[in-house]
A and B are shown apart, each in its own frame.
Chain A
Amino acid sequence: MARAIALLDKPNSASFGMAPVVVADDASVRVLGFASASAHRGRGVTRPQVEELIRGGHALPVDADVPSALKPNTVALWFGDVFAKSAKALDLPAAPLPASPLEARGGTFFLGPSAALYPYLERWIIRAFQKFRSEQSDESRKEIAKLMRWVLPHRPESLAAAWATASKPERELELQSRTFELDKTAAQIRSSHEHFLKSAGDELADLRLVVFTGGTGVGRGELAERFAKQFSLECRSFRRSVVEQSSHAASLEDAKEKQVLADNGQREVDLSPLAFALSVLDSPPEKGRILVLDSLRHKKMRETLGWLQPKQVFVVAVTTDESERRRRVQARKIDPDTLFKHATEREIPDLTKQADLRIRDVATDQELRQIFDLVSHG
């Protein structure tokens, strides 16, 4: 094991952001998380230098056990205590967070690859901007704009919201032309804000999701495919997303492959439920379309899909006789008693109870039509 000893750039309690993390073991100190353009800033940093940065207020001291094999693209997602309270008061919570929080002065942080954690900031901004645009109260709009500046101040959403709520809009434009909108005139920036405030939308907002849940062996995948085929819908699967990232598993025998896929799926959920959800929602079908999602296995993923605020999330739980389920699993040379205890199976009974509809694996076309009608009509 190694220890995380500092977060560079000393994230503030009022902030929701990302920071490079300094990791030390007996032999060395490494700075993780810089993009390639800034990689030289973390090279060859020594422990006394880190201590000096902490003393000077440029880094936040932390103390946490971390795996020694952390990759160079590992960052700290920072969730400040004050930010959490402010966001809650405005009904703008963060997406369901990764599974392993680490404590620091003024907030909580999570370690993971930057590509898996950055969406927390980006999607929060998109959600906050949707609320900003629909909000009637000037006071609330100002509060939302202020909070957006504590997340990604350079994003067009944050800049447009800051301008729209500024007490001196011309002064705000001048400031933006000296910070995030370099080489643009105030008139150009104003014009792009006006356009953005009118037109920017969330591509997920018109999406209706029909999400299939159910344990291994219930015939869930087959039913989801049947449903999609019957109504000419696109079917995507959390399982398929994991398979694509576990290419080596295909060469294993059934039981081992299942174990590898289940473990990898669990890891994706623990690391970043938001990135995992977005991995199946990437380039959603045309506006207003219905998307079928198969293989929902975690309550956190259900919460995450809801947090993304598509037009509808309709969960269908597939069931079958327990004896039939066990027989199917055994036919794949997998021990059902071992499999059913895996973390990816554990929450399925609760998801089934909370589903919008429960359906047998042998559902008729007419029953599937009823689901389609329910979703189509909202």
Chain B
Amino acid sequence: MDPATVSRAEAILKIDPARRPVYAYAAFLHPDLGRIGLIVGSEWFTRDPHGVSRCDSGGLAGCVGGFGHLTEDQAARALEDLTHVSPHRWEDAWVTEVKDAFGGFRGYIAGAAPRRGCYKDARQTCIDAVLAKSGLLDPRLWVWEVRSFSSIARGDIEAVALAHEAWKELHENYGDDLPIDGIRYLVGRPADEGLHHFREDEVVAAFERGL
């Protein structure tokens, strides 16, 4: 994402530019992350949390994509409304919201669209605007973003999701001595019916195990 957009979001979130957090989506691998995704345990977050937003903070603050119809002022207010700053407990609210919008975590993790009209904030306005125009909903409108000042350590990584060409390169470079030992590699595959980008059923299972 455009660095200026990220800076704008961080200014709204009162993040000191000298001490910036690491970003992740809660229980979601977004397509924009490409052909490799790290599934990280919640320990990473709890070591030194900054906070949580109920959608992608950069997209919202920059009025990007599905957030495009908001004005900058509306977006700034919405980001404040949709953010839980540490030490506020957010997990229960997240679980309640996901269950309400998707009936359970499976749909949320697998990229399904939420139930119509389930949000009572700026996200619903954005979703309605997108549906009225193109109908293609980007999960960044509702996937929760978590931020921690802690670096991601090797031991935080629970599993690595890879597309199959990415796996071929990784294996060529490392052989059986992969960079992270003792974890699962959830590798996609081509098939008669098309490409499985990651091993999707195992990606869902990996996130569900951590809930």
Contacts and interface: CB of A to CB of B under 8 A. Distances in A.
Interface in A153-195: 153-154, 166, 168, 171-172, 174-175, 178-180, 182
A11 B194 contact: no
A358 interface: no
A106 B185 CA distance: 27
B15 to A, nearest CB: 23
Interface of B: 31-32, 34-36, 65-66, 110-112, 134, 136-139, 163-169, 171-172, 176, 178, 182-185, 187-198, 200-202
Given A52-B32, A171-B176, A33 B168 contact: no
Contacts of A153: 164, 167-168, 171, 187
Interface string A22-45: 000000000001111110111111
Given A18-B195, A43-B111, A179-B184, A150 B168 contact: yes
A12 B169 contact: yes
Contacts of A320: none
A118 B192 contact: yes
B190 A121 contact: yes
B96 to A, nearest CB: 23
B210 to A, nearest CB: 16
B165 A11 contact: yes
22 contacts: A8-B35, A12-B169, A17-B165, A19-B195, A35-B195, A36-B194, A37-B110, A38-B197, A40-B31, A41-B111, A43-B138, A44-B136, A149-B172, A150-B168, A152-B189, A153-B171, A153-B187, A154-B189, A168-B176, A175-B176, A178-B185, A182-B202
A14 B191 CA distance: 20
Given A20-B197, A40-B111, A43-B138, 9 more contacts: A17-B190, A35-B193, A41-B31, A58-B35, A149-B171, A153-B171, A153-B187, A179-B167, A179-B185
Main secondary structure of the interface of B (DSSP, over half): mixed
Contact of A40 (B112, B191, B194): B112
Contacts of B34: 53, 56-59
A12 B165 contact: yes
B165 to A, nearest CB: 4
A210 to B, nearest CB: 29
A114 B192 CA distance: 6
A58 B198 CA distance: 14
A251 interface: no
Contact of B139 (A19, A34, A40, A154): A40
B139 to A, nearest CB: 7
Contact of A114 (B139, B185, B194): B194
Nearest to B30: A41
B168 A17 contact: yes
Contacts of A56: 34
A18 B196 CA distance: 10
A94 to B, nearest CB: 15
A101 to B, nearest CB: 19
A19 B194 contact: no
Contacts of B137: 43-44
A208 to B, nearest CB: 28
Contacts of A213: none
A12 B138 contact: no
Contacts of B35: 8-10, 58
Nearest to B32: A49
A43 B113 CA distance: 11
B195 A175 contact: no
Contacts of B189: 152, 154
Contacts of B134: 44
